[in-house]
Amino acid sequence: MGVKDRLFPVGGTALILNILKYIVVIIVAVVPLIPIWTMILWLAVQSFSGKVILGIIPSDFTFNNWRFLWSPMKMGLKEYPNIWPITLNTLFLALGVTGLVVFISTLGGYALSRMEFKGRVGLMQFIIALHAFPSIILLIALFVILNHLGLYGKGIMTLVGIILIKAGLEIPMATWIIKGFFDAIPWDLEWAALVDGCTRWKAWRTVILPLVLPGIGAISIFSFLSGWSEFLLVFTYVKDEAYYTLPVLIYYMIGEYKFIDWGMLAALGLFYAIPTIIFFSTSQKLLLRIYVGGIKR
C-alpha cells in the first residue's frame, strides 16, 4: 500500500469507519438538538399563529397574540400590569448594571493590567476565586443586607438595590475580561505617549481607551444581557407588581396562561428575547470569546 492509499484510504474498512463516524456525529451532536430546534421553531411559529398543528406547523396567521403590546392583559378578574412600564423596569435594571459594571471594572482592570502594587497577584487570585464561587447561595444574606439598608419594599429603590447587588456580582468576571483586553495592548504605545509628554490621564484617554473599546463593548453587552435576564434577585426581592421585570412577569404568566393561551406566552417570550437575539446575531464572535474566556454556569 502506497502512502497515497494510506492518506486517502478507499478500502472497505475505511468506508465502514467513515459511515460509523457520521453515525456517531448524528447520534451525539444532531439528534439531541431536535428538541432545542423544535422549541425555538415553536416559539417563532406560535407567536404569529392562531392555531398550531403538531407544535410547529403554523396556521391562521394573526397578530392577536401580540395584543399585550397595545391592550392590558387580563385573566378573569385579574389584570396584569401593562407591559411597557415592566419593560422600562427591565431596561432600567439592565442599563444600571451595565453602567456600573463598565465603569468600575474598566478602572479595576486597568489597574490590574498596568500598575504595580503590593498584592497584585493575590488580588487576581482572589478575583478568580470569586468567579468560581457560586453567588447564588448568598441570596438570603443579601436579602438581610437589603433590608438593613432600608431598600426592601421601597419600589424603585429596591430595583436600585438589586442593581448594586447584581453589578457587584458581575464585577469580578467583567474586570477579568477587560484586564485581558488591556493585557493585549502593547506597553510601548502607552510609553510612547508618556515620553511625548502626555499625562497618564491623557495617555489613557487618547491612546488606551480607543484600543480597549472592543473590550468595553464586550463587557457592556455581557452585563446588559445578564441584567436583562436577571430573574432570581427580582423574583425574590420585589413583591410589588409595578416593579416587576419582564422575566418575573413571564414567570407568573406561564402558570396561569399555559392551558389557555400558548400563543400569547410565545409572543411575550419572543418580545422579551429581542435584545438577546439582536446581540447574539450581531456580536456572536465577541460573545463566544467571552464565553470561552470566563464562564460561570
Q: Scan residues 21-40 and list those touching another protein (CB under 8 A).
A: 21-22, 24-25, 28-30, 32-40
Distances (CA, A) of 159 to 13, 95, 232, 289: 64, 12, 13, 30
Does residue 297 interact with another protein by CB under 8 A? Answer: yes
**Distance (Å, whole) CA 46 – CA 49:** 5
Q: How far is the CB of 6 from another protein (least distance, A)?
A: 5
**Distance (Å, whole) CA 85 – CA 81:** 8
Does residue 70 interact with another protein by CB under 8 A? Answer: no
Spatial neighbors of 64 by CB under 8 A, at least 6 apart, are 50, 263
User: How many residues sit close enough to another protein to count as binding (CB under 8 A)?
Assistant: 103
Q: How many helices and strands (H and E) does the chain possess?
A: 14, 4
**Which burial class, exposed, middle or buried, applies to 203 when counting CB atoms under 10 A from its CB (0-12, 13-18, 19+)?**
buried
Q: How far is the CB of 2 from another protein (least distance, A)?
A: 12
Q: How far is the CB of 70 from another protein (least distance, A)?
A: 22
Does residue 77 interact with another protein by CB under 8 A? Answer: no
Q: Which residue has the cell 456517531?
A: 24
Which residues from 109-138 bind another protein, rule CB under 8 A?
110-112, 115-117, 121, 123-125, 128-130, 132-138
79 φ, ψ to 5°?
Answer: -110, 130
Which residues from 170-189 bind another protein, rule CB under 8 A?
171-172, 175
Which residues from 227-266 bind another protein, rule CB under 8 A?
228-229, 231-232, 236, 246-247, 250-252, 254-256, 258, 262, 265-266
Q: Which of 70, 84, 191, 291 binds another protein (CB under 8 A)?
A: 291
3-state secondary structure of 261: coil
**Distance (Å, whole) CA 290 – CA 99:** 18
Does residue 203 interact with another protein by CB under 8 A? Answer: no
Q: Which of 169, 173, 203, 267 binds another protein (CB under 8 A)?
A: 169
Q: How far is the CB of 224 from another protein (least distance, A)?
A: 12
